[in-house]
Structure 1
Amino acid sequence: MDIARSMRALADAADAPNGVVDWDAVAEAAKGAVDPGDVRVEPAEREAIAADVRAARDGLRAASGVSFDLPDSVEVQSRHHWIDANVATFERVLRPLERRGGGVFPGVARSVNTGTMAVAVAFLARNVLGQYDPLLLADGAGPGAAGGPNAARSGGHSDHGLYFVRPNIRRVAAELDVDYPRFRRWIAFHEVAHAAEFAAAPWLSTYLEERMEEGVEALSEGSLSRESFAELNTAMTAVEGYAELLMDHAFDGEYEELRVKLDERRGGGDPLTRLLKRALGFEMKREQYERGAAFFEAVADETGVATTTLVWDAPENLPTEAELDDPGLWLDRVARA
Structure 2
Amino acid sequence: MWVRLMSDGSRLTVGRAVDWSFAGTVGAWLTRPGPASTDYTRIQAIDELAVAARKAEGPVREVTRMGGDAPVAEARIVDRPGWIRAASDSMRVMTGGADTPANAITGRVTGAQTGAVLAFISSGILGQYDPFAEGDDGGLLLLVYPNVIAVERQLRVSPSDFRLWVCLHEVTHRVQFTANPWLAQHMSQALGVLTSDGADDVTQVVARLADFVKKRRAGGMQGPSDSGILGFMRAVQSEPQQAALDQLLVLGTLLEGHADHVMDAVGPAVVPSVQTIRNRFDQRRQRKQPPLQRLLRALLGVDAKLSQYTRGKKFVDHVVERVGMDRFNAVWTSADTLPLPHEIEDPQRWIDRVL
Give the corresponding residue for 2:67: 67
- After the TM superposition, which residues 158-169 of structure 1 pair with which residues of structure 2 at under 5 Å, given as runs? 160-169=139-148
Q: Residue 147 of structure 2 aligns to which amino acid in structure 1? A: N
Give the corresponding residue for 1:265: 284
Distance in 2 (CA, whole Å) between partners of 1:25 and 1:227 is 34
Give the corresponding residue for 1:82: 83
Give 1:203 shift: 0.5
Q: Which moved more, 1:258-267 or 1:43-52?
A: 43-52
Q: Residue 171 of structure 1 aligns to which amino acid in structure 2? A: A
Distance in 2 (CA, whole Å) between partners of 1:219 and 1:167 is 41
Q: Under a length normalisation based on structure 1, what TM-score does the superposition of the two structures give?
A: 0.77
Q: Residue 186 of structure 1 aligns to which amino acid in structure 2? A: W
Distance in 1 (CA, whole Å) between partners of 2:109 and 2:44 is 45
What SS class does the counterpart of residue 132 from structure 1 fall into?
strand
Distance in 2 (CA, whole Å) between partners of 1:94 and 1:281 is 20
Give the corresponding residue for 1:172: 151
User: Contact (CA 8 Å) 2:54, 2:72: kept in 1 or not?
Assistant: no
Tell me whether 1:57 sits opposite 2:31 in the alignment. no
Cα distance change, pair 86–44 in 1 and its aligned pair in 2 (3 A): closer
Match 2:329 to one of 309, 316, 322? 309
Give 1:265 shift: 2.8
Tell me whether 1:28 sits opposite 2:7 in the alignment. no
Give 1:115 shift: 3.0
Give the corresponding residue for 1:206: 185
Cα distance change, pair 129–306 in 1 and its aligned pair in 2 (3 A): same
Give the corresponding residue for 1:187: 166
Give the corresponding residue for 2:229: none
User: Contact (CA 8 Å) 1:130, 1:162: kept in 2 or not?
Assistant: yes
Give the corresponding residue for 2:128: 131
Match 2:274 to one of 255, 275, 290? 255
What SS class does the counterpart of residue 17 from structure 2 fall into?
coil
Match 2:258 to one of 242, 264, 274? 242
Give the corresponding residue for 1:298: 318
What SS class does the counterpart of residue 157 from structure 2 fall into?
coil
Give 1:282 shift: 1.1
Cα distance change, pair 277–39 in 1 and its aligned pair in 2 (3 A): farther
Q: Deviations over 1:32-89 (max 9, x none)?
A: 1125657967776555334322331111111121134365321110111111111022
User: Contact (CA 8 Å) 2:158, 2:273: kept in 1 or not?
Assistant: no
What SS class does the counterpart of residue 167 from structure 2 fall into?
helix
User: Contact (CA 8 Å) 1:93, 1:212: kept in 2 or not?
Assistant: no
| Unmatched segments (≥5 aa) in structure 1 | 1-18, 102-107, 147-157
Give the corresponding residue for 2:194: 215
Cα distance change, pair 260–270 in 1 and its aligned pair in 2 (3 A): farther
Give the corresponding residue for 1:10: none
Distance in 1 (CA, whole Å) between partners of 2:72 and 2:114 is 29
Distance in 2 (CA, whole Å) between partners of 1:197 and 1:219 is 32
Give the corresponding residue for 1:329: 349
User: Contact (CA 8 Å) 1:299, 1:331: kept in 2 or not?
Assistant: yes
Q: Under a length normalisation based on structure 2, what TM-score does the superposition of the two structures give?
A: 0.73
Q: Which moved more, 1:266-275 or 1:205-214?
A: 266-275
User: Contact (CA 8 Å) 1:34, 1:125: kept in 2 or not?
Assistant: yes
Give 1:278 shift: 1.6
Distance in 1 (CA, whole Å) between partners of 2:38 and 2:121 is 18
Distance in 1 (CA, whole Å) between partners of 2:276 and 2:33 is 29
Q: Residue 322 of structure 1 aligns to which amino acid in structure 2? A: H
Give the corresponding residue for 2:119: 122
Q: Which moved more, 1:43-52 or 1:116-125?
A: 43-52
Distance in 2 (CA, whole Å) between partners of 1:260 and 1:22 is 42
Q: Residue 227 of structure 1 aligns to which amino acid in structure 2? A: A
Cα distance change, pair 221–55 in 1 and its aligned pair in 2 (3 A): farther
Q: Which moved more, 1:192-201 or 1:214-223?
A: 214-223
User: Contact (CA 8 Å) 2:297, 2:303: kept in 1 or not?
Assistant: yes
Give 1:314 shift: 1.2
Cα distance change, pair 24–53 in 1 and its aligned pair in 2 (3 A): closer
| Unmatched segments (≥5 aa) in structure 2 | 1-15, 202-235
Distance in 1 (CA, whole Å) between partners of 2:324 and 2:47 is 35
What SS class does the counterpart of residue 75 from structure 2 fall into?
strand
Cα distance change, pair 194–29 in 1 and its aligned pair in 2 (3 A): same
